[in-house]
Structure 1
């Protein structure tokens, strides 16, 4: 039943999202629809929580009269409790359902909504003007947290919902019209938040993020790791773990990878992340809250991870990341005195920050921890400073546990082949390194390569069993890696070469002779027929 509801919910939300699609590109209408869904979520959580408090009094939250002294007393008491439990507060008149009802006086169709996005079309409607109220309410969510423990987690969460943007409509009335109708349709959807054992809305939210990523081109890599890759990373770092004290993603995007790790274990105590892009940082915090992660259990920061790390000195039991491939960074020589880089003797080059991210992650890895990071294939074999850092991690530290080659064209916005590199500070198998070549194990969906569940299971089982399989995996002794000058290019270790079947030249010659004989016999037969018919032969 929950699976059917989830699929239905996903389709409903995507249909509503498409009402904004005609006027904006994917990353723009993403911010509006996800922001409105999040506002509805906060409202429903507020309503459910307030009703549990009011149950002994036999009243419901929406029936409180905010203008009376009694109503004000109720609101004051509920606000105190809500700020501790939920981290924010909304009055009954500020709830999503109340605003949506004020903005809609009639039933409308999705077709009407799509037309309403056209600012050239005038509409004679009686919808209340709710833009100013809605903007004030979204600001009030943030204002309610000021001076509380959750203030940073809700700070400017809705800043990307520009309700005055002309992309929504040229006039305030046309903008009000489309927003009212979007809220009206969202208001009809039951998120079933009372069913706490289900994460239907969380899954639907992830579905939408993935759909937006598929249409965002190169920008998708800024906020989304394909679900199949996320699953592999999560399963790798949770091997033989049932509970995690902490999980960290230094380039956390929308936070989906952190949440994926939580699905692989019974419990994660704390989530940590850092994200450079402000809009994506807001999306990550929304994603955490919407998945039921309490504000005290996550710490997401917005800054450049390499240049301005925000969790300095902390150690994490699991670390996952899909950093931007071969991005630029300052490589400032001052970093040679930074604890993250100083022991290596060299910095990653300015034009390729891949190993700078690896060094950053290794520094933050707990002694009992495990990390898995996606890198471009070039990081496995490029020389100079990168070769020096790679050798240090293997020869001096012996942290490298496995190298996994992935198929090309599985990430949005780039078709380059990639790999996953796994590091552990306390390795159970310190005498070897596992290499897996999964580059040819995938399905093709339209123009994108996709890892199937069977492909994922094979990677994980091979890693956990640490086995050699012909043309797929190889457990390489450290001595062999040293002989290869710490070059980790997977074909050096996993031979996937398929020998072509040998050709018997004598048999081929005999076959040609037989074919020539058959041809002559056929020519003679055709010639006799032509002679009987008194026509020219065709040869």
Structure 2
């Protein structure tokens, strides 16, 4: 319970940090400042805690105590030895006057100098390749922060003071990681359409991850790959369900540099060691990656941009990822290019789960040929229709396609989960009960009326390799038969009630009198018409 409270406290501190910037810029910009400065505090606090641990073999009471101990140790003759050990353990060194603790102290005394923070950023970036260009998106000299040096500096100082209230000393990596994830989700909500590139809703992430990890939970050294990783949330889900999370190796690629930086920070904040992170800033389709020692993975998770454009250049027909299919995904819709890229990097005993728009299930031409080849090879294992309006960047309904590299059967399980949601103001949401229902249908792998259908290869062949879910799962609700006798009785009763009301209305009209002959004449005409 204390952990939940701690997490809530952390979230509220970080959220009030967002309030300082909210009036100055939109969420897509201020998330970079807030998350970047939180991350610097994390690196600084983790560093000072490690210093104290090396010196005294225990955790410090306060960050100030740790800083004091660090300053004192640097005056000792074994200072260089300490620095060597720190560099080895942390991959970076922070000088005492560039620690977050020093910045917060200066901010409280109106002596904060943003040049120092910039210097701190630069030092971290230059200390190891894993941190290269990590703080690029944070412009400490932006006019958005205020007019003139003083106001801009004050905004950063206020942010530093606010975030200093976050007690990272008594929060483990999971609490901080979860708070960070929560913030990313909130930014996604505020940012709306732009959020699609960095955030997959947790419900969808959970289904994808639990499906892909099924049967591999005990594996030591599990490898997970997301070639369109966004902020890394989908990748990081694997550690929630693995029995040996500290041995997971994460591989991810992201085209957008800001989002790639977000993912790198997210990894550290979840306590993932540099050795287990293999992240790259690049275009997944244009150049294959990874191509080194590790090229196939136990789990492939993907939520690529839907129906994106790509070059589809003829040269790709010689690319090992696509060459077996004889055709390429169309220029205007890269969906199958992403799918084939992921499948190429899947181990023969692994599982891949990808979210795509429904069009991939039934569109013809090149996509139809690729789909048929995948079905003939037994690669498509399951198709799950999700509710509409789950994502921040599109309201279209999407589906999860589950793929396997080599298996005996060629049957496909279809699940219609389109009605399993709770309506929200902006987005629909799937509850844990909805998620569990989908996962149970998936693991049972059998036909359930109106919910799931296990289609044989012959069923699919008869449908010309069209995988549109309503062809297999009939969710049509038959209307009840009309009881004619009951209908006639109701009509008779309605007629009687009308007659009674009409009679009451007539007697009211007959009671009306007037000295005006014209009014009386009109009244009598009306009475005559009703009686006639």
TM-score by length of 1: 0.90
Residue pairs, 1:177-192, within 5 angstroms: 177-192=154-169
Are 1:128 and 2:111 counterparts? yes
Task: Summarize the Cα distance change of 1:391–1:422 in structure 2 as closer, same or farther, 3 Å threshold.
Answer: same
C-alpha distance in structure 1 between counterparts of 2:149 and 2:353, whole Å: 49
CA shift, 1:76, in A, is 2.4
Residue pairs, 1:50-449, within 5 angstroms: 50-55=51-56, 61-63=66-68, 71=75, 73-105=77-109, 127-145=110-128, 151=129, 153-193=130-170, 196=172, 199-242=174-217, 243=219, 245-266=222-243, 267=245, 268-312=247-291, 314-395=295-376, 397-427=377-407, 430-449=409-428
Deviations 1:253-276 (A, max 9, x none): 100100012211122421000000
C-alpha distance in structure 1 between counterparts of 2:466 and 2:147, whole Å: 58
CA shift, 1:322, in A, is 0.3
CA shift, 1:80, in A, is 1.5
Partner secondary structure for residue 367 of structure 1? strand
C-alpha distance in structure 1 between counterparts of 2:27 and 2:440, whole Å: 37
CA shift, 1:327, in A, is 0.2
C-alpha distance in structure 2 between counterparts of 1:301 and 1:528, whole Å: 88
Are 1:461 and 2:440 counterparts? yes
Farther off after superposition, 55-64 or 412-421? 55-64
CA shift, 1:534, in A, is 6.2
Partner secondary structure for residue 443 of structure 1? coil
C-alpha distance in structure 1 between counterparts of 2:449 and 2:169, whole Å: 49
Contact conserved, 2:73 with 2:79, CA < 8 A, in 1? no
Partner secondary structure for residue 222 of structure 2? strand
Matched length: 507
Task: Summarize the Cα distance change of 1:10–1:522 in structure 2 as closer, same or farther, 3 Å threshold.
Answer: same
Q: Choose between structure 1 and 2: higher helix proportion.
A: 2
C-alpha distance in structure 2 between counterparts of 1:387 and 1:529, whole Å: 74
C-alpha distance in structure 1 between counterparts of 2:201 and 2:87, whole Å: 35
C-alpha distance in structure 2 between counterparts of 1:528 and 1:58, whole Å: 93
C-alpha distance in structure 2 between counterparts of 1:277 and 1:79, whole Å: 35
Contact conserved, 1:303 with 1:309, CA < 8 A, in 2? no
Task: Summarize the Cα distance change of 1:73–1:140 in structure 2 as closer, same or farther, 3 Å threshold.
Answer: farther
Deviations 1:294-320 (A, max 9, x none): 001010000100002230260100000
Partner secondary structure for residue 331 of structure 2? coil
TM-score by length of 2: 0.91
CA shift, 1:95, in A, is 1.1
Are 1:479 and 2:458 counterparts? yes
Q: Which residue of 2 aligns with 1:34?
A: 35
Partner secondary structure for residue 446 of structure 1? coil
CA shift, 1:530, in A, is 5.1
CA shift, 1:168, in A, is 0.7
Contact conserved, 1:398 with 1:430, CA < 8 A, in 2? yes
C-alpha distance in structure 2 between counterparts of 1:55 and 1:34, whole Å: 31
**CA RMSD of superposed structures (Å):** 2.1
Task: Summarize the Cα distance change of 1:212–1:521 in structure 2 as closer, same or farther, 3 Å threshold.
Answer: closer
C-alpha distance in structure 2 between counterparts of 1:58 and 1:238, whole Å: 36
Contact conserved, 1:223 with 1:253, CA < 8 A, in 2? yes
CA shift, 1:38, in A, is 0.3
Task: Summarize the Cα distance change of 1:135–1:465 in structure 2 as closer, same or farther, 3 Å threshold.
Answer: same
Contact conserved, 1:86 with 1:294, CA < 8 A, in 2? no
Task: Summarize the Cα distance change of 1:181–1:413 in structure 2 as closer, same or farther, 3 Å threshold.
Answer: same
Contact conserved, 1:403 with 1:436, CA < 8 A, in 2? yes
Farther off after superposition, 466-475 or 338-347? 466-475
Farther off after superposition, 184-193 or 156-165? 184-193
